[in-house]
Amino acid sequence: MRQILAVSFCLLAAAGMFGQPLWTGNISEVVRVEASSASGLEGVYVLDGLSGVSVSCQTTEEEAPSIRWYRYSSLGGGYAEELSDVRVDGASSVLTKIESDMGYIVEHPDGRRECFWVIDYNRHPFSLTSIVPSAERDCQRIALDVIGMGEEMAYYGINGRRFTLDRGIRLSYHTLTPDEEALMFHQTETAVDFASLPAVMRAPAPLCATKFTVEGDRFLRAWGHAEEFTSGSVEPYAVSGLTKITQNVRSADNEVAQNPSGTSFGGSAPCELEFEAAVTDGALFHEWQFSRYPEFDDVSLRIQDLNFAYTFNDEGVTYLRFVCANSDGSCEYTGEVYTVSIGASMLKCPNAFSPNGDGVNDEWKVSYSSLVSFECHIFDRYGHEITSFTDPSHGWDGKYKGKTVPSGAYFYVIKAKGSDGRNYELSGDINIVNYK
């Protein structure tokens, strides 16, 4: 055998330039893996044992006797050795002795070269004997201690650079997936793939009780006898939540408009909000928090119901958020912050209207904002009460007992209270004009 000292020996070979080698004597399928383009290799071949296996290069009967075979290790093609265990079979040049974890170079008489790497799977088997949760705890990721075999499967390019194969080891388990539209969580199966078997497998923490199954690898899968191991049931410690707030918007044309948007609510009091929340299985504690401070330095109200209605009457800004946690408080979910802004109160009274049915100014109504109580009485000039109402969005259509009253002066007396604590005691005249 001779040593090839030129490091550039195989750099002329382009992956896929020549036909793939032909394998004989193997019982199981030879699995070809595409090599990195930076390796200079045509491919990586993984076999289920090398005993009795030979590999051949298909060429012509004239060229076959002149084919030369070389083998190199992790040092790269610059240190390749020529092999003598070669025979000619018609138009084939056959290498009869193959070693695992080695690179092979086929050199044609005209200088063309093909390079590939060979791995005997039996030297890098995959098996599992144990999967248990690690003492290491992270609210975002779970760690699983694994006992088994499934080391990295390495190969070396023609320049000695190290690469690894993806063994296609899969960790699968159940978790909960949020459905924001339905405001609920659905149980789904998820999976994380690993190129090799680590001592500790890390994956997104499950949100429900689940068993973990490790299955692999891609080579055993290709040969029809993949290994699989399933853990015992593991309780969730990670938590998550979903929240939704809806404002019951009033549409009175005489009230300052309420325009909720995104996470901002409020406007004119009273402001009625519907609260909804959903939590994952591990969340044994949950509450809505109310605060006057955006950082929640002081929480003024805590409500532990998931779903409820609440009315805001006081002027100012209130910050809201939802919090849930597991049994020992080691993992916590904090939802987005909502704001409720209640404006200052306002009450104005018109002094005239014309209930003639033309669609313009046909009803006497106050203009208001953020009133938490209201009472209005309307009298004629003789002191007889014509009508009364306690909803400021209502008004007077100019009728008494179903009939339109005559034009002239009428009078109102109003008592009201604003969300800012301001008391209103108003009285004045109402003139019905342009009415026949």
pLDDT at 260: 86
Planar angle of CA 227, 228, 230, nearest 5 degrees: 160
* Continuous segment of H or E residues that includes residue 219: helix 218-222
Q: Which residues pair with 232 in a beta bridge?
A: none
Residue 3 CA to residue 121 CA, distance in Å, equals 28
Mean pLDDT in residue range 3-21: 46
Establish whether domains 22-123 and 127-153+162-230 are of one fold: yes
pLDDT at 258: 75
pLDDT at 436: 56
pLDDT at 11: 41
Residue 300 CA to residue 159 CA, distance in Å, equals 69
The reply to whether omega before 217 is within 30° of 0 (cis) is yes
pLDDT at 19: 63
Q: Starting from the edge strand earliest in sequence, which strands make up the sheet with 86-89, in order?
A: 22-24, 54-58, 92-95, 86-89
pLDDT at 103: 97
Q: Which residues pair with 250 in a beta bridge?
A: none
Which residue matches tokens 């404002």?
A: 247
Give how far Cα 349 sits from Cα of 82, 145, 383, Å. 106, 75, 19
- Calculate what percentage of the chain has a pLDDT beyond 90: 85
The reply to whether omega before 270 is within 30° of 0 (cis) is yes
Q: What distance, in Å, lies between the first and last C-alpha atoms of the chain?
A: 124
Higher-confidence residue of 4 and 436: namely 436
Question: Is the per-residue pLDDT at 6 higher than 90?
Answer: no
pLDDT-derived band of residue 10, with 50, 70 and 90 as boundaries? very low
pLDDT at 248: 92
Residue-wise pLDDT for 14-52, tens only, equals 333 346 899 999 888 999 999 999 999 999 999 999 999
Residue-wise pLDDT for 226-248, tens only, equals 999 999 999 999 999 999 999 99
Q: What is the DSSP letter of 93?
A: E
Residue 147 CA to residue 61 CA, distance in Å, equals 52
pLDDT-derived band of residue 356, with 50, 70 and 90 as boundaries? confident
Cβ 239 vs Cβ 331: under 8 Å: yes
E strands of 14-168, at which residues? 22-24, 31-33, 44-47, 54-58, 68-72, 81-82, 86-89, 92-95, 102-107, 113-120, 127-133, 141-149, 153-156, 162-165
pLDDT at 435: 64
Higher-confidence residue of 136 and 200: namely 200
Residue 278 CA to residue 288 CA, distance in Å, equals 12
Question: Is the per-residue pLDDT at 8 higher than 80?
Answer: no
The residue type found at 118 is V
Q: Which residues contact 180 (CB under 8 A, 6 or more apart)?
A: 242
The residue type found at 276 is E
Phi/psi at 425 (5° precision)? -130, 100
Mean pLDDT in residue range 293-310: 97
Residue-wise pLDDT for 138-168, tens only, equals 999 999 999 999 999 999 999 999 999 999 9
Question: Is the per-residue pLDDT at 7 higher than 50?
Answer: no
pLDDT at 45: 97
Q: Which residues pair with 309 in a beta bridge?
A: 274
- Tokens of residue 260, six digits: 């909720």
pLDDT at 12: 40
Cβ 16 vs Cβ 88: under 8 Å: no
Question: Is the per-residue pLDDT at 382 higher than 70?
Answer: yes
Bridge-based pairing of strands 352-353 and 423-432 is parallel
Mean pLDDT in residue range 326-341: 96
Cβ 277 vs Cβ 245: under 8 Å: no
pLDDT at 86: 94
pLDDT-derived band of residue 9, with 50, 70 and 90 as boundaries? very low
- Tokens of residue 74, six digits: 């992790």
Which sign, positive or negative, has the C-alpha torsion 313, 319, 320, 325?
negative
pLDDT-derived band of residue 366, with 50, 70 and 90 as boundaries? very high
Supply the CATH classification number for the domain 127-153+162-230: 2.60.40
Pick among 3.90.1580, 2.40.50, 2.60.40, 2.60.120: CATH of 22-123: 2.60.40
pLDDT at 27: 81
pTM above the 0.85 mark? no
Which residue matches tokens 């004239």?
A: 62
Question: Is the per-residue pLDDT at 112 higher than 50?
Answer: yes
Give how far Cα 332 sits from Cα of 97, 141, 180, 281, 319, Å. 61, 13, 19, 13, 19
What count of Cα atoms within 13 Å lies in the side-chain half-sphere of residue 212?
28
pLDDT-derived band of residue 65, with 50, 70 and 90 as boundaries? very high
The candidate with the shortest Cα–Cα distance to 320, out of 363, 353, 273, is 273
pLDDT at 251: 82
Bridge-based pairing of strands 162-165 and 153-156 is antiparallel
Phi/psi at 303 (5° precision)? -125, 120
Domain 346-432 has CATH 2.60.40.1220: yes
Domain ranges of the chain: 22-123, 127-153+162-230, 241-342, 346-432
Mean pLDDT in residue range 369-391: 95
- Tokens of residue 210, six digits: 């689940």
**Fold topology of 241-342:** Immunoglobulin-like (2.60.40)
Residue 200 CA to residue 187 CA, distance in Å, equals 25
Cβ 347 vs Cβ 371: under 8 Å: yes
pLDDT at 386: 96
